[in-house]
Structure 1
Amino acid sequence: MEPGAYGAGKAGGAFDPQTFIRQPHTVLRMVSWLFSIVVFGCIVNEGYINRPDEKEEYCIFNRNQNACNYGITVGVLAFLSCLLYLALDVYFPQISSVKDRKKAVLSDIGVSGFWAFLWFVSFCFLADQWRVSKKENNPLNEGADAARAAIAFSFFSIFTWGLLTFLAFRRLGEITFQEEYNTLFPSSPPVLA
C-alpha cells in the first residue's frame, strides 16, 4: 500500500488481506480479542462454584459477585470493541476524507486508552479478591487455574491495549508530505498549450 493519510493508502484502493493481517495494530487487536475471550471464558466456565452443603453457586473471587460480573462484562465488551475496531481497520483505507480518518484515529486513541484503564482496574480488582478468597473462602482451591488465568490475561490486556493506544498516537502523526502538499496547494487542472 502507498503511504497516505494517517497510516492508510489512498482512498478507494483495493483491500489486501495479507497487508492488513501483518499490520501491528491488527495483530495487537486480534491478540487483545483473544485475551478478552480467555478472561470472560475462564470466569464463565469455572468462576462459580458451590460446596456440597450449599445450593447457590458463588464467585470464586472472595464470594464477591461483583468481581465475577466485572470480569465478564469487561471481557465481553472488550471482545465486541475489538471486533468493531477490526471492522473499522478494514474500512479505514476506503475513507476518503482526511478529517474522517482523523476522527477514526482519535476515537481509536480514546477507546484503546479507556480499555487499558479498565483492564488495569480488572487486574487489580480480581487479584485482590483472589488474594482474600485464597486465605478465607476457598480451602479446596477450586477454580484456581481459571482464576489465575483471568488475572494473568487481564494483566496482559493492559499492555496490548496500551500498545494499541501508542500505535494509534503514532498513526495520528503519520501524515505524508504529499497530503500536506495537496492541502497547501490544491490540484488544479492541467494547462493546455
Structure 2
Amino acid sequence: MDGGGAYGGGKAGAPFDPIQFVQRPQVILRAVCLLFAIIVFGCISSQGYRYDREEKKEVCLYNKDNNACNYGVGIGVIAFLASIGFLVGEFMFEQMSSVKTRKHYVLGDLGFSGFWAFLYFVGFCYLANRWSNSVTPEGGFGVNNLQAAIAFSFFSIFTWAGCAWFAFQRFRQGTAAAFAPSYEADPGSIPGGAPYASYPVGQEGDGGYQEPPFSGNQTRGVIGTDFQAPAY
C-alpha cells in the first residue's frame, strides 16, 4: 500500500536530501533532547556522588538520597537512547511505504515523548527538592554539575513536550487524510464545469432496407415464363 505523503512525510522512495533532513523541526528538537540527556546523566554520574567518611560509602550529594541520583541518571540514559532511536526513525520515515507503519511510529513517538516530558517534570521537582534540603559539599564539590542537572531537567520538559506536539500534528494530518474522499467529483455537478460528452451515435442511412438487384419476385417471373421450342 502506498503511503506517499501520509502523516506529514514525503512520498515513499523519494531521494534522500540531507540538508532538508537536518532542517526538520522534529530532527532539530530531537537532537536538542539528545544533548540535554547527555548533560543530565553526565553531570550526575561525574560529580553527583562523593565518598562519605562517616558512612564509609559513596552517597549522593542530593541530600544523601541515592534514589535521586539514580532517577536522574536513569531518565537521562533512557532519553539518550530513545533520542538516537527516534532520529533513526526520522531518517527511515520517508522510506516507510506502509501507512500503518507510519501510524505506529507516530503514535509511539507521541506516547513516549509525552510520557518522558512528564518524567522529566517529576525529576526536576524531585532533584530541586533534594538539593534545597542538602548541605553544600566541602569546597563546593559538584555544585555546578548538580545545579546544571536540575536546570537541564527543566529544559528537557519543554523539548520532549515539543516532540510530542509535533507527533500530534502528524497524527492529525494522517487522520484527516484517512477520512478524505478518494473519488473525484462529477464535472457536471461543479458550477462552471462541463458535463461528460455523450457517446456518439452513428448516423442513420438515407433510406430503409433496400432489396438486392435480383429480388425474389424477378426470380419467380423468370421461372414462371412458358418455354417455347424453337421452330424447325
| TM-score using structure 2 length | 0.72
How far residue 174 of structure 1 moved from its aligned partner, in angstroms, is: 2.4
How far residue 15 of structure 1 moved from its aligned partner, in angstroms, is: 1.4
How far residue 51 of structure 1 moved from its aligned partner, in angstroms, is: 4.9
Matched, 1:80 2:78: no
| Cα separation, partners in 2 of 1:47 and 1:66, compared to 1, 3 Å | same
Report if the CA contact (8 A) 1:6-1:172 is conserved. Answer: yes
Detail structure 1 runs of 4+ shifted over 4 Å in the superposition: 51-54, 175-181
Where 2:62 maps in the other structure, the secondary structure is coil
| Residue number in structure 1 paired with 2:26 | 25
| Cα separation, partners in 2 of 1:179 and 1:13, compared to 1, 3 Å | farther
Aligned equivalents of 1:159, 1:54: Cα separation in 2: 38
Aligned equivalents of 1:91, 1:21: Cα separation in 2: 13
How far residue 49 of structure 1 moved from its aligned partner, in angstroms, is: 1.4
| Residue number in structure 1 paired with 2:210 | none
| Cα separation, partners in 2 of 1:21 and 1:133, compared to 1, 3 Å | same
Select the structure with the greater relative contact order (CA < 8 A; seq sep ≥ 6). 1
| Residue number in structure 2 paired with 1:40 | 41
Matched, 1:67 2:65: no
Aligned equivalents of 2:30, 2:83: Cα separation in 1: 6
| Cα separation, partners in 2 of 1:185 and 1:97, compared to 1, 3 Å | farther
How far residue 53 of structure 1 moved from its aligned partner, in angstroms, is: 6.1
How far residue 23 of structure 1 moved from its aligned partner, in angstroms, is: 0.4
Please tell me whether Structure 1 or Structure 2 has the larger radius of gyration of its CA atoms. Answer: 2
Aligned equivalents of 2:150, 2:168: Cα separation in 1: 28
One-letter amino acid of the structure 1 residue matched with residue 157 of structure 2: I
| Residue number in structure 1 paired with 2:9 | 8
Query: How many residues align structurally?
Result: 181
Aligned equivalents of 2:176, 2:138: Cα separation in 1: 64
| Residue number in structure 2 paired with 1:145 | 144
| Cα separation, partners in 2 of 1:63 and 1:148, compared to 1, 3 Å | same
Where 1:49 maps in the other structure, the secondary structure is strand
| Residue number in structure 2 paired with 1:184 | 182
User: Cα RMSD over matched residues?
Assistant: 2.3
Aligned equivalents of 2:60, 2:177: Cα separation in 1: 57
One-letter amino acid of the structure 2 residue matched with residue 184 of structure 1: S
| Residue number in structure 1 paired with 2:159 | 160
Report if the CA contact (8 A) 1:4-1:179 is conserved. Answer: no
How far residue 52 of structure 1 moved from its aligned partner, in angstroms, is: 5.9
Runs of 5+ in structure 1 lacking a partner?
187-193
Where 2:57 maps in the other structure, the secondary structure is coil
Where 2:173 maps in the other structure, the secondary structure is coil
Aligned equivalents of 2:128, 2:78: Cα separation in 1: 20
| TM-score using structure 1 length | 0.86
Where 1:50 maps in the other structure, the secondary structure is strand
Runs of 5+ in structure 2 lacking a partner?
185-232
Report if the CA contact (8 A) 1:5-1:176 is conserved. Answer: no
Report if the CA contact (8 A) 2:103-2:171 is conserved. Answer: yes
